[in-house]
């Protein structure tokens, strides 16, 4: 019987694990692959306090993991298949095991949304990508497209300028959603060409991406752009399928919690990108992970 099982090993999960382990609780963190979550696909993090020159996503996660393990956090690479959550009993089905725990902290994060247009599924890994940091070097001196107008699209488009010859940034409105600083940086890049009020209709190509069919939102004109890569950054959807019939979720599927990160079932907490909230940052995930672990400890004490 564990005191706390944490599902997901991004910044929220690793911080919850650090706090839980430092409170000398029996804590297990389950992560499908290696800990890290979306931060691992971030080349350079420059808005996490304490790193005035910035830090690579990989290094930041590595430090968080080492720190949590130093205080005795048990981390297992195991996919969680199912959870049974109630006020009285909490069971986590991981790999071939059924684990019992007194409290659960959900830190399952979020995943990239797909466009849902023709050609997308077929060409994933053959020119369609959701991670410029991972795939940009394949597009040296080529023309590519970035879809989206948020912080991720801007950051990744700027990263792509290191490799690609030209980057079409395709956004469905005439103003960007991303922060002003990133907007200015992207607009200052000669390699980035903005296509405003434009949406993609089809990704073209058979064996690999050859182009995009696009439509202007207002004039309805349909036109094509030849590109060899399409990078999609249109937001994220929460990884909440595990709990969708057990906990209260927002209409978009994020886990609803109170200010102490407790979900609609006592003893089940949520932190990080999977939680319904205003701001999705590493810094907010970390604070929520710490709060969730502390609240879980209070919950365990109240049950003694």
Distance separating alpha carbons of residues 289 and 296, to the nearest angstrom: 10
* CA–CA gap between residue 258 and residue 2 (Å, rounded): 24
Q: How far is CA 233 from CA 147, 209, 222, in A?
A: 6, 17, 22
Q: How far is the CB of 207 from ligand NAP (least distance, A)?
A: 25
258: which residues sit within 8 A by CB, 6+ positions away?
Answer: none
- CB nearer to ligand NAP: give 115 or 295: 115
8 A C-beta contact, residue 129 and residue 232 = yes
Closest separation in Å from C-beta 116 to ligand NAP: 7
Q: Nearest to residue 287, comparing CAs of 7, 15, 2, 8?
A: 15
Interface with ligand NAP (CB under 6 A): 47, 115, 147-153, 155, 172-173, 177, 199, 233-236, 279-281
Contact 16, 62 (CB under 8 A): no
Nearer to ligand NAP, 149 or 289 (CB): 149
What is the number of the residue whose Cβ is closest to ligand NAP? 150
**Residues noted as catalytic:** 131, 134-135
Question: Which of 284, 106, 109, 142 is CA-nearest to residue 226?
Answer: 142
For ligand NAP, the closer CB: 18 or 147: 147
Question: What is the smallest separation between the CB atom of 173 and ligand NAP, expressed in angstroms?
Answer: 4
> What is the rounded distance in angstroms from the CA atom of residue 139 to the CA atom of residue 233?
17
**Least distance in angstroms from the C-beta of 71 to ligand NAP:** 28
CB of 12 to ligand NAP, least distance (A): 14
**Tokens describing residue 52:** 């005035």
Nearest distance, CB of residue 211 and ligand NAP, angstroms: 17
* Closer residue to ligand NAP (CB): 3 or 43: 43
- The CA–CA distances, whole Å, from 286 to 31, 168, 169, 273, 282 equal 17, 34, 31, 11, 6
Of residues 183 and 246, the one with the C-beta less far from ligand NAP: 183
CA distance 271 to 265: 14
d(C-alpha 258, C-alpha 297), whole Å: 16
* Helix (H) or strand (E) segment spanning residue 302: helix 282-302
Q: Which is closer to ligand NAP, CB of 30 or CB of 153?
A: 153
* Alpha-carbon gap, residue 137 to 159, rounded angstroms: 10
What's the Cα-to-Cα distance from 154 to each of 115, 132, 178, 192, rounded to whole Å? 17, 11, 7, 10
């Amino acid at each position: 019987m564990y005191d706390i099982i944490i599902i997901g090993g991004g910044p929220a999960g690793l911080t919850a694990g650090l706090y839980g382990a430092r409170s000398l609780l029996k804590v297990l963190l389950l992560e499908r692959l290696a800990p890290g979550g979306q931060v691992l696909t971030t080349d350079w993090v420059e808005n996490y306090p304490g790193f005035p020159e910035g830090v690579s996503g990989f290094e930041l996660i590595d430090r968080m993991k080492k720190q949590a393990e130093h205080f005795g956090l048990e981390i297992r690479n195991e996919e969680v298949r199912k959870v049974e959550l109630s006020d009285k009993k909490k069971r986590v089905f991981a790999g071939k095991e059924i684990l019992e725990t007194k409290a659960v902290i959900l830190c399952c994060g979020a995943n990239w949304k797909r466009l849902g247009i023709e050609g997308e599924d077929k060409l994933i890994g053959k020119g369609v990508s959701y991670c410029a940091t991972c795939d940009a070097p394949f597009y040296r001196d080529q023309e590519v497209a970035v879809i989206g107008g948020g912080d991720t699209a801007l950051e990744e488009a700027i990263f792509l300028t290191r490799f690609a010859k030209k980057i079409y940034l395709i956004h469905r409105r005439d103003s960007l959603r991303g922060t002003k600083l990133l907007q200015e940086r992207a607009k200052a890049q000669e390699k980035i060409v903005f296509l405003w009020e434009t949406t993609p209709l089809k990704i073209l190509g058979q064996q690999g991406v050859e182009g995009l069919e696009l439509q202007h939102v207002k004039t309805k004109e349909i036109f094509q752009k030849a590109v060899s890569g399409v990078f999609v950054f249109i937001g994220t959807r929460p990884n909440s399928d595990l709990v969708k019939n057990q906990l209260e979720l927002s209409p978009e599927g994020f886990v609803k919690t109170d200010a102490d990160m407790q979900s609609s079932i006592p003893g089940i907490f949520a932190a990080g990108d999977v939680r319904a909230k205003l701001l999705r940052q590493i810094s907010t995930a970390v604070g929520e992970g710490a709060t969730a672990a502390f609240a879980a400890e209070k919950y365990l004490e109240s049950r003694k």
